[in-house]
Amino acid sequence: MPVESSELLDTSSRQLVLETMARVGARLSIYEFFSVVVSAHQQAQNSVMPDHDMHNQFKRSDSYDGFLEVLKFALIDLGRPCSVLVIGAGTGYAGCSSDYAQEVIRGLNSTHVETVESLELTPEILHGSRFSKSSTYDLVVSHSLAHFVPSLSSFFAHVRARVKGDGTFVMGHEFNAEFWTHPGIAQLRRSYQRRKRLQKIVRKATSPAAYLRRIKATIGGTVFRSMPEVVNAILRDQHGFKDQLTPSEIFALVDPHLPNGSMYHVGLNGMDAIGIQHTYLPEFRLTKLHTSEYPGLDRQAAIKRKLPGRIFHAVYQRTPRQ
């Protein structure tokens, strides 16, 4: 059983989670509560979206090229045949498994890659007795993982323990906090929303019959059980929860550091690459930052104005002790 810790959450939301647990009758530790909700979500996802292929989705996205770019930069910067550790998500976290990043790294065919090992991170490894500092690596890589881990202090402590004294950490595919706070992004989003409203009005005016057919098709289409419905059914049947979690609660517990626009939030509102370096990786330097993806925005306009993307990849170089 993992030891409870006030460092489970890096925000003041611990009490909020405890109140949620009391309401649904979850007689678990906080670690176990997060894990069973994540497990139920993964089961529901496999049921509702059985053909969903996250790896191909990553490869089709703009962030794929960014991940390649920072990996190549890190390997060239290290300038030697490297031992590489890929940290992926195991049971208890909804992040990306190590398979995807391993495949990308091996696909580079770089002479700077000597060995590639993997570790599937679980709450037991992160907080329990299985935590080990014995093996260190030239390059440690994670991809779409950190924003799923409630305790960032524990996660980055684990990373620091795995990186050699002159090694590097690559944190790939994280949600960029600056995207949601940058005034230029907000301006583009408002312009996009106005344009979409205008397009809807034009469709209704120019082809009302087609518009009505679309509405009827939506209303009369096959109705599937929603993800929250399936998640709550699993939590009730397998874990004895007495009350339902709201959709906002489920998604906040599964992905605590993703901005969700909800009052129920248990983590950071996105990840700040510079803030991470100062707060969690003080002995590292942020040597490269790549951002991409502008959903719902004019991508070319955003790039031209050098606005931050929704996703970032970062390279952190450990500074050798003098």
CATH number of domain containing 43:
3.40.50.150
Residues 163 and 190 in one domain: no
Q: What is the pLDDT of residues 123-161, one digit of tens each?
A: 888 877 555 556 899 999 999 999 999 989 999 999 999
pLDDT (0 to 100) of residue 161: 94
Asked if 76 and 187 sit in the same domain, the reply is: no
Q: Is the model's pLDDT at 7 over the cut of 60?
A: no
Per cent of the chain over pLDDT 70 is 83
Q: pLDDT for 71-95, tens place per residue? A: 999 999 999 999 999 999 998 999 9
Q: Are 214 and 155 in a shared domain? A: no
Alpha-carbon distance of 14 to 29, in angstroms, equals 12
Domain limit, last residue, from 220, 249, 274: 220
70 vs 315: CA distance, rounded Å: 7
Tell me, yes or no, whether 187 and 91 share the same domain.
no
What is the number of structural domains in the chain?
Answer: 2
Rounded-to-integer distance, Cα 132 and Cα 118, Å = 14
207 in the same domain as 72: no
- Asked if residue 196 and residue 129 are part of one domain, the reply reads no
Bigger pLDDT: 1 or 109? 109
**C-alpha of 81 from chain center:** 29
**pLDDT confidence of 55, banded at 50, 70, 90?**
confident
Judgement on whether residues 196 and 304 belong to the same structural domain of the protein: no
Rounded to the nearest 5°, which phi and psi values hold at 202? -65, -40
Mean pLDDT rounded to a whole number for the chain: 86
Greater model confidence, 120 or 296: 120
Which of 220, 251, 286 finishes a domain? 220
Is the separation of the CB atoms in 85 and 62 below 8 Å? no
| Confidence category of residue 322, pLDDT binned at 50, 70, 90 | low
One domain for residues 92 and 35: yes
* 190 plus 295 within the same structural domain: no
- C-alpha 322/C-alpha 320 separation (Å) is 6
- Among residues 220, 251, 278, which one ends one of the domains? 220
Indicate the pairing of strand 163-175 with strand 311-318.
Answer: antiparallel
Radius of gyration of the chain (CA): 22
DSSP letters spanning 54-81: HHHHHHHSTHHHHHHHHHHHHHHHHTS-
With a pLDDT cut of 90, the percent of the chain lying above it is 61
Q: Do 167 and 289 belong together in one domain?
A: yes
Q: Quick check: 284 and 316 in contact, CB under 8 A?
A: yes
Residue bearing the bigger pLDDT, 206 or 174: 174
Amino acid 303: pLDDT: 87
- Whether residues 109 and 123 share a domain: the answer is yes
For residue 46, pLDDT over 90 is answered with no
Predicted confidence (pLDDT) at residue 4 exceeds the cutoff of 60: no
**Are 208 and 303 within one domain?**
no
Exposure on the CB side of residue 321, measured as CA atoms within 13 A: 3
Burial class of 105 by CB neighbour count within 10 A (0 to 12, 13 to 18, 19+): buried
Rounded to whole angstroms, the Cα distance separating 89 from 70 reads 21
Which residues span the domain enclosing 195?
A: 181-220
